[in-house]
Amino acid sequence: MPESRGRLLSGGRGEELEPRHPARGHARAPGGVRMRPTGKQSPPALRGRPGGPGLLLLFCLRLGACCPQSCQCPEHAGAVAVHCSARGLQEIPGDIPANAVLLKLDANRIARVPNGAFQHLSQLRELDLSQNAIETMGPAAFSGLAGGLRLLDLSHNRIRRVPKDALGKLSAKIRLAHNPLHCECALQEALWELKLDPDSVHELACHTSEQEAFAGKPLIQALDAGVSFCSAHHKTTDVAMLVTMFGWFAMVVAYVVYYVRQNQEDARRHLEYLKSLPSTPVSRDPLSPAP
């Protein structure tokens, strides 16, 4: 058979054969069979071309067939588990497979969760963001996950304030333990709307607090004691409202007093002017009879 650059089937396995003299840079197995990697890899046709990263991302998001660099993506029955733990990541990868059901991004250096970071992962059931450096989360950081997510782990981060807009729409169990929480009214209102994981709720603590007596103490202890961080907030708001109302009332009274005094002054001046006018004698009627 003449040598050619066509495809040959060897043993019915569909392995692609190369000519006797392969191009430099390709690994070859004995017998001239090209070695194929067992893991998922970026499509060769998209590598090394202009716009390759963008086309690659679109290809991955559409087919759900790519795996972030340095991560592992084992697949079982069409579902993918993405393991990116302790990879030194500083941001959330953008090429996560769309059919991922488990995403582990723990033990990295992620500092923020931007809006729409997981919006294409509608099948995701568990998201682990623990042991990072997360301080802020966009209001739409977890959009697209409200229906299917079952567990969100945000423990061991740097979260001081819980964004109700970002987490309030989730039905998943949320872990917030070991974060430097600032206990205030906004935190208490946010926690009322969240479904906290019962196994870790006792590990929530007030790193700082509007009420200094609870700084460094477990949050559940303060709430069980009937403490309301919103009561002080409401009292402050009431005092501010009273001060504002008193200020407006004082302004109205001052205006009324000024208006009355100004009118009195104008009336007095007008009266003095009338008094200063010369008086004219009354003329007699010439037809009237003389006395």
Per-residue confidence (pLDDT) for residue 1, from 0 to 100? 44
The tens digit of pLDDT for each residue in 53-105 reads 455 455 454 444 589 999 999 998 889 999 999 999 999 999 999 999 999 99
DSSP codes joined into one string, 114-156? -TTTTTT-TT--EEE--SS---EE-TTTTTT-TTT--EEE--S
Distance of alpha carbon 109 from alpha carbon 88, whole angstroms: 6
Distance of alpha carbon 259 from alpha carbon 265, whole angstroms: 10
Per-residue confidence (pLDDT) for residue 282, from 0 to 100? 54
Instruction: Determine whether 164 is exposed, middle or buried from the number of CB atoms within 10 Å of its CB (0-12, 13-18, 19+).
Output: middle
- Pair type for strands 181-183 and 206-209: parallel
Contact 143, 167 (CB under 8 A): no
Q: How many CA atoms lie within 13 A of 21 on its CB side?
A: 0
Give the residue, 218 or 264, on which the prediction is more confident: 218
Q: How confident is the model at residue 48 (pLDDT cuts 50, 70, 90)?
A: very low
Q: How confident is the model at residue 148 (pLDDT cuts 50, 70, 90)?
A: very high
The b-or-e profile of 39-66 (16+ CB within 10 A means b, else e) is: ebebeeebeeeeeeeeebeebbbeebbb
Most confident of 47-51, 243-247, 273-277: 243-247
User: Which pTM value belongs to this model?
Assistant: 0.62
The tens digit of pLDDT for each residue in 254-263 reads 888 887 888 8
The tens digit of pLDDT for each residue in 2-23 reads 444 343 333 343 433 334 344 4
Distance of alpha carbon 78 from alpha carbon 218, whole angstroms: 43
Please state, as a whole number, how many other Cβ atoms lie within 10 Å of the Cβ of residue 133. 13
How long is the chain? 291
Q: Is the pLDDT of residue 147 over 50?
A: yes
Measured over the CA atoms of residue 195, residue 103, residue 200 and residue 216, the dihedral's sign is negative
With residue 266 as reference, give the H or E element that holds it.
helix 229-276
